[in-house]
Structure 1
Amino acid sequence: MTKNSTSPQNALGDISLLYVSVLMRAVEAEGGDSNALKKQFRLNDPGLASPEARISIPRFMRLGHAAITSTGNPALGLRMGALTRPVDAGLAGLAAETASTAGQALTTLIRYSLLTSQNSRGEPSIIGQKRQARFYSIQPYNSYNYFVVDSVLATWTQMIRHITGRYDVLESVRIEYPSIGQEEMFESWFRCPVEFSATENSIQLKDSAWHHAPTQAHAAMHSKLTNWCEEELTELRQGWRVADRVRRLMTPLLRGEAPTLETLATKLGTTPWTLQRQLSAEGTGFRQLLDETRKQLAEDYLQETNASLAEIAWLLGFANPPAFHKAYQRWHGISPGEKRKLKSLEK
């Protein structure tokens, strides 16, 4: 069972090492040196085999970038998807495999995605009436995170292909980042039209695929496994403090402006006064939490991506880059530009 957990130590979140194992298999399939990558990122086989072990999102992105550099394949995320098995998604993957329809399987996989991946940017969602699965925005996009979108959409697609025994399961794929010159490869892999520079990251299933009965469908086992998933999800969330819940809601809203106490209270179904009182009881406050969250995220964005300082300022909800520079100077006594230069020298 999952142990109680507060918010991840890394502000951007963490991901199960099960997915790192898939990445290593993809590297090997592409002729890359997985052992060298394991050594570089201090990974070991027992850790990669543990369903409880996690890696921070920034470290996972750096590992993915290194894997792409090692293999020379910028579409390595598609290879990851092709090599993913239901068990690589943990208990949620096994529960999905026993669903009564492919649509229910995808819904199950996404509902319990939190058990293997926590990301402050958001959570994936399912729109049943549209037979559509959506992955949240992780803009700004760069060579460190293209593969994340590719691997997630490809993994969902591979799951549906695996449980239905069909390859023609999609009507369309939408990808938020702009084309990097691989349209033909993506359309060949997904076997449907792929739109880049779209307003979302998503796959849309064909009606026949959505209602297709999986080869491993088993109502009683599906019920047992999803009940287990529900227990783990409840246990996980019970370990969150009010501050953790506020931080999870706050981060996706930091896009060009700072969220208000009123907005977050509404999302939590309470009043601003009650929320402030709850935070105070935990030894913090809304403004303090906002400042700490921005400070943690700033470090992650500076190390994780090659996003410009103006883009980072926007992601942190500052009105303009000078406001970000002023805050960073207050936090560290150094400008973000100087900190980024120091980090690059350390590598």
Structure 2
Amino acid sequence: AVVSGASTCRHMELMASKPDYAGFVLAAVEGHTASSLGVVGLACRSCSTVAEALACHRRFQHLTNRTAEYAASIEGERLTIVEVRHGEAGLGSRLLSDYTMLVAVQLLRILASAPPRVHRMVSRRSTMPATERTAYADFLGAPVELGAERAHLELDTSLLEAPVATADDELAAYFQEVLHRAAGFEADEPVLIDEVRRAIREGLFRGTATACDVARALGLGQRTLQRRLGEHGCSFASLLDDTRRRLAESHLADPTLSLTEVAYLLGFGETASFYRAFRRWHPMTPLAYRRKHQRRG
């Protein structure tokens, strides 16, 4: 069964009102394995190094998670993993952010041949019971701080070079092929186009995906981006439209998302704009498309 993000947030709020919430969270966290992320997790566990695994996750995370996005960056000797969570910022959302940060550490411990060194976890919550905070700190081996706009982890950069304990070159090649097909592009698609698609998806998560925003995210000037895309026979507008189409088809396969939510996730300000775009992509309405593919399933 598919569980919506809103339902998960409500469940977290309910559990937080019960005794030993931290115990419940940590028991659930420790039950996670790479397969918890589906085929993306299986691909990550076949990569050679943690750096490759993180790159694989960032590239394909949209296939298994529509409610949040995760990115890694390096500042000095610190590796920072930041969450961008979509939707309303209620208590359930903030609780879920803490949970996913703890899960990230659990998965990194499973992947890496040596335990990762965590410097700190920073929560979106402004308050946290002392017992809960202590329990998380004990699990992490690092302090838990509060009040961040976005939940994030800080780890030692040495983690990036750590070999993945279950690395397998043949499996890695197989899963890359599977993920490329699932993401809707060919394995030999130019790297620039792949990166532009990823930046567009991340932009849509935040509500906007303009050529200027995407160029800035890739460290390019807008004219340079358009020129380089032209060298590959495409434009930013065509990639934006095609990426939206692919995401629309994926989102419509999720029965927990309303058509209004799908339109919002695609960056359309109103449902009518989404309907007009969808009629360009398919000779039917979004609802008819959903019903047709549900019958096939």
The answer to whether TM tops 0.5 is yes
More displaced, 92-101 or 177-186? Answer: 177-186
TM-align CA RMSD? 3.7
Compared with structure 1, are the counterparts of its residues 126 and 227 closer, same or farther at alpha carbon in structure 2 (3 Å cutoff)?
farther
Distance in 2, Cα, partners of 1:246 & 1:107: 17
- Shift in alpha-carbon separation, 1:94–1:164, aligned structure 2, 3 A: same
Q: Which residue of 2 aligns with 1:171?
A: 119
Q: CA deviation at 1:153?
A: 0.9
Aligned residue for 2:98, secondary structure, equals helix
Question: Aligned pair 1:223/2:173, yes or no?
Answer: yes
Q: Could you tell me which amino acid in structure 2 is paired with residue 196 of structure 1?
A: L
User: Residues 223 and 131 from structure 1, CA distance in 2 versus in 1: closer, same or farther, beyond 3 angstroms?
Assistant: farther
Q: Which residue of 2 aligns with 1:161?
A: 109
1:136/1:291 Cα in 2 relative to 1: closer, same or farther (>3 Å)?
A: same
Within-5 A mapping of 1:146-295: 146-164=94-112, 166-181=114-129, 182-234=132-184, 249=203, 252-253=206-207, 264=210, 266-267=212-213, 269-270=236-237, 289-292=268-271
Instruction: State the TM-score, normalizing by the size of structure 1.
Output: 0.51
Structure 2: distance between partners of 1:77 and 1:146: 13
1:94 CA displacement: 0.8
Matches within 5 A, 1:17-36: none
Q: Which residue matches 1:117? A: 65
Instruction: Please give the alpha-carbon distance, in whole angstroms, between the structure 1 residues aligned to 2:39 and 2:112.
Output: 19
Partner of 2:11: 63
For residues 204-260 of structure 1, give each alpha carbon's deviation from its aligned partner in whole angstroms, at most 9, with x where no partner exists.
22233221112211223212212211221226xxxxxxxxx999856634xxxxx7x
> Is 1:76–1:147's contact at 8 Å kept on the other side of the alignment?
no
Selected match of 1:127 from 67, 70, 73: 73
Give matches, 1:54-93, under 5 Å: 54-69=2-17, 72-74=20-22, 76-93=24-41
Task: Answer yes or no: is the 8 Å Cα contact 1:250–1:264 preserved in 2.
Answer: no
Shift in alpha-carbon separation, 1:151–1:161, aligned structure 2, 3 A: same
Matched with 1:108 is: 56
1:94 aligns with 2:38: no
Identity of aligned residues (%): 13
The C-alpha deviation readout for 1:262-314, integer Å capped at 9, x for no partner, is: x746557339xx98xx99xxxxx99x942449xxxxxxxxxxxxxxxxxxxxx
Aligned residues of 1:110 and 1:124 also touching (Cα < 8 A): yes
Distance in 1, matches of 2:99 and 2:126, equals: 16
Q: Is the 8 A contact 1:123 1:135 kept in 2?
A: yes
Aligned to 2:69, the other structure's residue is in SS state coil
Task: Compute the displacement of 1:59 (Å).
Answer: 1.6
In 2, Cα distance between equivalents of 1:60 and 1:67: 11
TM superposition score normalised by structure 2: 0.59
Q: Distance in 2 between matches of 1:132 and 1:165?
A: 20
CA positional deviation for 1:191: 1.0
2:205, 2:49 → 1: CA distance?
34
Q: Bigger shift: 71-80 or 107-116?
A: 71-80
Task: Kindly provide the amino acid, as one letter, of the partner of residue 109 in structure 1.
Answer: H
